[in-house]
Amino acid sequence: MMSFKKFYITTPLYYVNASPHIGHSYTNIAADTLARYMRGCLGRDNVWFLTGTDEHGQKIQKAAAEAGLAPQEFADMTVRQFRELWERLNISYNDFIRTSEPRHISIVQKALEILYNKGDIYQGKYEGWYCTPCETFWVESQITGQSCPDCNRPLEKISEKNYFFKLSAYQQWLIRYIQDNPLFIGPKFRRNEVLSFLKLNRLNDLCISRPKERLSWGIPLPFSPDYVTYVWFDALLNYISAVGHFDKDNRYVSKWWPADLHLIGKDILRQHAVYWPIMLKALEIEPPRTVFAHGWWMTGEDKMSKSRGNVISPLEMVDRFGIDVYRYFLLRDVPFGLDGNFSEEAIIKRFNADLANDLGNLVYRTLTMIEKYYAGEIPQRCKASDVEGKSIEAAIERLSGVCAKFLDAAADFNFGASLEAIWKVVNMANKYVEEKKPWNLAKQNKSDELKAFIRLLVEVIRKVAEGISASMPLTAEAIKEQLGSERIKKGKPLFPRIDSR
Ligand code: MSP
């Protein structure tokens, strides 16, 4: 388990060329869960949760032109959809950065200037293949035919003067750094992928400029105004531009840096685990503690993405199933780090089994018994005297430690396993009700036993509410509302069963 005094967590900055989909919402829900949990451990003021939007570059310039708008106008319009979605999904970010904001632009220009003056950025000639939609250069040895190895779309042959960042000079340093810091890249298998890539290939220097005549929507290079900055070089710097500044000696100063965790999807690992630490090293800034890449949500065999035309809207899912059900499903159904298949049937299955049958039922039957046997007043705390009760008591004692599992980078932030541990206790409690048959206890006037039994169920539910408060904040609140004080406040069942269509 890592130890923290402050916790700075980030999500990728989403491109504003299209509406957000389930894949985007996944990272923000995971980050939100961690941020909420850490606020509980460290206090609100010691956690900083950053998200935002990536607004420059070809993709956005093109989408804006197609919509007949200026890029900034277009970005202003789509950024709203991201903000609204985060609001709807209860994402408790502290700051939302847009790469078109002056606070970001000035840091990017400062960083470029520092690197240029120090000789880490130089002018050179670029000749080779270029994928416009991905904004990626490819050299002959990386391609077969004339299509992009990433997206399969046709490549263009180009030859132009550009500016380059000396990635290659830092390759050996990076290999050492990754070897010496086992938690820098996660999951472990991704760390191994990056390491073997670095050991087997010579890094090319990174082309960090685009001539204005080809792309005008970007941050101008301070030392060469006919060029704008390559969108990745610009966007990565958000993680420092949002939380600090360079002082007069060009030293970066920040209360929050280094980031404790950059959560990203697996497709942008190279940029975060190779370009980014090298950029920071060149700027004499500490690397982030951990970069963790999660997998993709797929529809059938394909990654869910706009270019594949198979996206599902998170809003639609939330309208149909509810916010916390959606959050629960994404965190619970697939181990963090691996790919998962998204389908409504899978949500319904989880909903009916884990939420309606297990948790919802436990809360509802407990409330009903308190209403029936104690006229709504929750009995006083007392110790369980039977074996099953004692083992449940021990299980809830252990729960906080088990729940914290998802904070552990070494254990791959396993949200699923943490929720599973909570559900084990829920199931123990449901089994206890079925075996104990409280109606018999009532009939036989075993009032002490009945009281201890019901009180234990209340303890379980309160502990469960605490355990899910980071991942399902609204549900935890609803439970607290119903069972949080001396008298119950019975509402509707938390999760009425869904009949599949
Ligand atoms: N703008 C860059 C990131 C810059 S970070 C300084 C970008 N944007 S993106 O909008 O294309 O993707 C953002 C994130 O969404 C990536 O982490 C990507 O992995 C994630 N996802 C996009 N589709 C996804 C799925 N189908 N499933 C899970 N996550 C996926 O890349």
309-325: pLDDT as tens digits: 888 899 999 999 999 99
- Using pLDDT thresholds of 50, 70 and 90, give the confidence band for residue 75: very high
pLDDT at 347 over 70: yes
- Start-to-end CA distance of the chain, whole Å, equals 44
Ligand 1 pocket, residue 305 CB under 6 Å? yes
Tallying the residues shown for the chain, one arrives at: 501
Ligand 1 pocket, residue 14 CB under 6 Å? yes
The CA distance from 327 to 325, in Å, is 5
CA-closest candidate to residue 455, choices 489, 475, 429, 478: 429
pLDDT at 196 over 70: yes
Q: Can you give the pLDDT at residue 2?
A: 58
Atom index in ligand 1 nearest the CA of residue 12 equals 5
Please report where in the chains the tokens 């940029």 appear, as a residue.
Answer: 271
Q: What topology is assigned to 344-483 in CATH?
A: Isoleucyl-tRNA Synthetase; Domain 1 (1.10.730)
Tell me the pTM.
Answer: 0.95
DSSP code, position 154: B
pLDDT at 173 over 70: yes
Q: Can you give the pLDDT at residue 304?
A: 83
CA of 24 to the centre of ligand 1 (A): 6
Stretch among 126-140, 383-397, 479-493 having the lowest mean pLDDT: 126-140
Which of 9, 10, 24, 97, when mutated, tests ligand 1's pocket best, judged by the most ligand atoms within 8 Å of its CB? Answer: 24
CA dihedral 106, 111, 113, 114 (to 10 degrees): 140
Residue nearest ligand 1's atom 6 by CA = 236
Per the prediction, the chain carries an average pLDDT of 94
pLDDT at 405 over 80: no
CA of 302 to the centre of ligand 1 (A): 15
> How much is the CA Rg of the chain, to the nearest whole Å?
26
Ligand 1 pocket, residue 453 CB under 6 Å? no
Q: Can you give the pLDDT at residue 138?
A: 86
Q: Can you give the pLDDT at residue 501?
A: 54
Residue nearest ligand 1's atom 9 by CA = 14
Atom index in ligand 1 nearest the CA of residue 236 equals 6
* For range 39-48, the mean pLDDT: 96
The CA distance from 252 to 110, in Å, is 11
Q: Can you give the pLDDT at residue 151?
A: 84
* For range 18-45, the mean pLDDT: 95
Ligand 1 pocket, residue 236 CB under 6 Å? yes
Ligand 1 pocket, residue 15 CB under 6 Å? yes
- Using pLDDT thresholds of 50, 70 and 90, give the confidence band for residue 466: very high
Sheet-wide strand order for 209-211: 209-211, 224-229, 220-221
> What backbone phi and psi angles, to 5 degrees, belong to 58?
-60, -45
Q: 7-294 and 344-483 share one CATH topology?
A: no
CA of 20 to the centre of ligand 1 (A): 10
Q: Can you give the pLDDT at residue 145?
A: 86
Class of domain 7-294: alpha beta
Ligand 1 pocket, residue 452 CB under 6 Å? no
Q: Can you give the pLDDT at residue 491?
A: 83
Segments making up each domain of the chain, as ranges? 7-294, 344-483
pLDDT at 163 over 60: yes
Q: Can you give the pLDDT at residue 307?
A: 77
